[in-house]
Chains A and B, each alone.
Chain A
């Protein structure tokens, strides 16, 4: 049991970790074919895991409906949405569920209509809320209580002015200053973070490949 739950996953991680690193440096067609094969396995695993995800989602909302928990009506909408989508997918413009999914515009295809006029519209609404959240987050950040916050405020004003026509109208130096802020200090910080992230990724990969880090198997300490 210990072998299956502890030793085998570490051996699998070691083998596939080293294989993955090796494939990156080997351009031979055999290595590339193996990589494609592994990607195919991943997609097969992912396809089956979708059933688990579906069960998880529907079970979560079923529990809410059953318990009449707060906001259970939203969970009912999940079932209605799921049922409608499934209905159109199974109907498939009269071709049934085993034929390739029918293509067509939203006016011709119920599935496309639901996707374009419900799913995309809801996602766009969520995305647009971001504008208001950015404003409120910026308000909190730009309250110049400390020298760092004051510096941030000044930099933000310069960048914002430099990105709109009024900035160039005030002075040609404003867009130039905005570009400098983005291309020099901002880019330097970004690259610094990326270097750290890359090293962190190497260290984490080594810990997992050599079985030093086992918390993804639960807990970690032996």
Chain B
């Protein structure tokens, strides 16, 4: 009797265990639609797995990706993550914004931990991967899939950027072409109109003009724009026979400025008036540069201070010291955090884009003026896109927002 009871009890336990295993297996669906391919738009060394999200999964399920460099293995764990993570909608630069991205997973594999430590994926080498879904002791897996990593020649996530860049460039080049055929109206820029006044004042007073570069190096477009303006200013000072001092915070900027000023003096027919010692490095550290330049302002009392380029905290130190000397001050910067300081302390300020427009404006060359008109047309298009995009986004149609999103 006791034996029969024990047998019955053991049978019940085995049956219960079998039922629970069977029930758990039933809750883990088969993984279908798994794809593995080279990660798009990257430098190489990475493959990507994608698969649709199963309709329902028990809580606590996790995905694992195993990888090997031979079909027969050994397979190593390359990634593990929760079953509700890694949705394609989290990475629009690769998968876009479609509704389907909310119901699909992805994972990028660029390395795995092998027997000898972390191994990075090599380009051109086939890798074998399988995706596993785990929930406690129960798991399901896909068949082995193969892919190899490659370096890509175009970053498709920057497609919107290149299209917009080409469109704006064509617009600007189109206006440059148009300017060759007919005269274009260019809006007046007060700060640049005042440049002649400042140089004339310096000439009348017999005092030098001080040109102050911003802190950035020669690889920055704002510094190139400042050098362009310096070329125009140097030509005028050469014509007016006015002394010009140029301070730079960087030796390369100084060298380029020296060449530019020298060439301008040659063009103005005054090569004898050029003195390379008048274009110098005042200091290579931010506040050393500011202190040295302030010293020049206070001791030499130039009649005009022209500050062009990208400035940081030294902007107010320079402009406020300059204003106490009574010099006429013209500043131009694309550093929007410093603009309020210049507007407050300088007589004229070139705001943002006007810094880039200055050289073209001063030259009055039709081709250069055409580019200014192109800039304005580009701005009009962007304003229209912003207004339309805001209206569409308000109506929950974010298509323009997505088109203009940088990746």
How far, in whole Å, are A32 and B43 apart by their CA atoms in the complex? 8
A122 to B283, CA, bound (A): 13
CB of B407, distance to nearest CB on chain A (Å): 12
Whether B260 and A203, one on each chain, are in contact in the complex, defined by CB atoms closer than 8 angstroms, is no
The distance in angstroms between the C-alpha atoms of A217 and B266, with both chains bound, is 12
Contacts of B155 in A (CB 8 A): 25-27
CB neighbors of B among A63-120 (8 A): 63, 69-71, 74, 119
A residues near B340, Cβ cutoff 8 Å: 141
A-B contact count (CB 8 A): 224
Say yes or no for B228: interface residue by CB 8 A criterion: yes
In the complex, are the beta carbons of A202 and B359 less than 8 A apart? Answer: no
Question: What's the minimum C-beta distance from A120 to chain B, rounded to whole angstroms?
Answer: 10
Binding site secondary structure of chain B: helix
Interface status of B198 (Cβ within 8 A of chain A): no
Contact A126 B262 (CB under 8 A): no
Known: A57-B281, A137-B345. A27 touches B42 (CB 8 A): yes
- Looking at B231, B235, B262, which has the most chain A CB atoms within 10 Å of its CB? B231
Contact B162 A25 (CB under 8 A): yes
- The docked-state distance in angstroms from the alpha carbon of A153 to that of B371 is 37
Cβ–Cβ contact A196 & B313, under 8 A: no
- B254 touching A53 by the CB < 8 A rule? yes
Residues of B with Cβ closer than 8 Å to A? 41-44, 123, 151-155, 158, 161-162, 165, 168-169, 172-173, 176, 217, 219, 221-222, 224-225, 227-229, 231-232, 234-235, 250-252, 254-256, 259-264, 266-268, 277, 280-288, 290-291, 295, 299, 313, 316-317, 320, 334, 336, 339-341, 344-345, 351-357, 359-360, 363, 365, 367-368, 371-372, 374-375, 378-379, 382
List 25 A–B pairs whose Cβ atoms lie within 8 Å, in order of A's numbering.
A25-B162, A27-B154, A28-B44, A49-B250, A52-B255, A71-B295, A71-B299, A122-B291, A126-B317, A130-B313, A137-B320, A138-B344, A141-B340, A196-B379, A197-B334, A200-B356, A201-B334, A202-B169, A204-B359, A206-B172, A207-B360, A212-B368, A218-B260, A218-B262, A219-B264
